[in-house]
Amino acid sequence: MALREILTYPNPILRQNAEPVTDFDESLRKLVNDMAETMYDAPGVGLAANQIGVVQQIVVIDASEEKNDLMALINPEILSGEGSQVDEEGCLSVVGLSAKVKRFNKIKVKAFDVEGKEIEFEAEEWFARVVQHEVDHLKGTLFIDHLSSLKRSLYKKKRKKQLKEEQAAKNDKQDK
Ligand code: NI
Over the stretch 142-166, which tens digit does the pLDDT of each residue have? 999 999 999 999 999 999 999 999 9
What is the spatial distance between Cα 38 and Cα 111, in angstroms, rounded to a whole number?
22
What is the spatial distance between Cα 119 and Cα 109, in angstroms, rounded to a whole number?
8
With a cut of 90, say whether residue 168 has pLDDT above it.
yes
Q: Dihedral (C-alpha) 57, 77, 139, 159: value to the nearest 10 degrees? A: -90
Of 88, 134, 165, 166, which is the active-site residue? 134
Largest CA distance in the chain: 58
CATH number of 12-147: 3.90.45.10
pLDDT category at 134 given cuts 50, 70, 90 is very high
E runs forming strands in the chain:
46-48, 58-61, 71-82, 85-91, 94-103, 106-112, 118-124
Give backbone dihedrals phi and psi of 104, rounded to 5 degrees, phi first: -60, 145
Q: From the CA of 129, how far away is ligand 1's center (Å)?
A: 11
Instruction: Give residue 175's pLDDT.
Output: 78
Instruction: Give residue 173's pLDDT.
Output: 86
| Extents of the domains making up the chain | 12-147
With a cut of 90, say whether residue 174 has pLDDT above it.
no
Instruction: Give residue 81's pLDDT.
Output: 98
What is the spatial distance between Cα 50 and Cα 59, in angstroms, rounded to a whole number?
9
Mean pLDDT of 128-140: 98
Q: From the CA of 75, how far away is ligand 1's center (Å)?
A: 17
Of 79, 128, 78, 134, nearest in space to 105 by CA: 128
Q: From the CA of 22, how far away is ligand 1's center (Å)?
A: 24
Q: How far is CA 167 from CA 89, 135, 160, in A?
A: 27, 32, 11
Q: From the CA of 143, how far away is ligand 1's center (Å)?
A: 7
Instruction: Give residue 13's pLDDT.
Output: 98
pLDDT category at 100 given cuts 50, 70, 90 is very high
What is the spatial distance between Cα 20 and Cα 169, in angstroms, rounded to a whole number?
40
In degrees, to the nearest 5, what angle opens at C-alpha 87 toward C-alphas 85 and 88?
Answer: 160
Instruction: Give residue 167's pLDDT.
Output: 92
88 in catalytic set: no
Q: From the CA of 48, how far away is ligand 1's center (Å)?
A: 7
Q: 116 in helix, strand or coil?
A: coil
- The predicted model scores a pTM of 0.95
Q: From the CA of 35, how far away is ligand 1's center (Å)?
A: 13
Instruction: Give residue 1's pLDDT.
Output: 73
Segment 20-73, tens digit of pLDDT? 999 999 999 999 999 999 999 999 999 999 999 999 999 999 999 899 999 999
Provide DSSP, 37-75: HHHHHTT-SEEEGGGGT--BSEEEE---SSS---EEEEE
